[in-house]
Amino acid sequence: MDIRLLLNTGIENIDTVYGGVRGTTLSSRHNLRHWQNVVQSGVRTVIELRDGDHSDRLCSLCEQNNIRYFAFPLDSHTVPNEVIATKLQQLFEIIDGGDFYIACAMGLHRTDMALSIYWMFHGAELQLCPPYLKGHFPMPDSRRKGVDPSKIFRRLNSLYEYLCDNRVIEIPDKQTFALRRKELIEYSKTKANI
């Protein structure tokens, strides 16, 4: 995948992550002009994190351009854990394979949450660095303020409890899970120079 081509598009909040990129949704009016670059870059899968607040435009665009569309509906509390759990293994495989574009409306909050889920339940086992929670701990030169990351941790905690009772995937023990939560926060604080 030609990540430089994507990074030079001007897509808002675009950044590299785990062999792919994150950013604002590709179905928004202001990002439709970037579709040729997305196709030329070699993106193989678009991961859509929005649930009920979108049209089928993104799915159609992916289909027209022979790009896999993967819906992974996610938010801090309304999407049931069982819905998330049924798609975790696919999410892990897609991110492990690279060449993906993961997005929510702004490419920040739900994207941070999805990447946190990936890392907490899979990526840490692969010795990957935690994701930088860019919507929650902005870089010092950014005018955008961070958002309280407690929503991420509420979702992580509730998903962990669900997975303790429903062994859909292998999960870390409670102590390891707690250490990873701390590492996730500390990594973002360090990266944001807080």
Domain ranges of the chain: 3-191
Write down the pLDDT at residue 144. 63
Cβ proximity of 102 and 22 under 8 Å: yes
Residue ranges of the chain whose pLDDT lies below 70: 52-55, 138-146, 194
Measure the CA–CA gap between 44 and 99, rounded to whole angstroms. Answer: 6
Measure the CA–CA gap between 160 and 177, rounded to whole angstroms. Answer: 9
Write down the pLDDT at residue 141. 61
Domain 3-191: assigned CATH number: 3.90.190.10
pLDDT (tens digit per residue) in 12-66: 899 999 999 999 988 888 888 899 999 999 999 999 998 765 568 888 899 999 9
Write down the pLDDT at residue 63. 94
> Do β-strands 100-104 and 68-71 pair in parallel, antiparallel, or remain unpaired?
unpaired
Measure the CA–CA gap between 31 and 106, rounded to whole angstroms. Answer: 11
3-class SS of residue 48: strand
Cβ proximity of 186 and 170 under 8 Å: no
Measure the CA–CA gap between 91 and 110, rounded to whole angstroms. Answer: 14
Write down the pLDDT at residue 138. 66
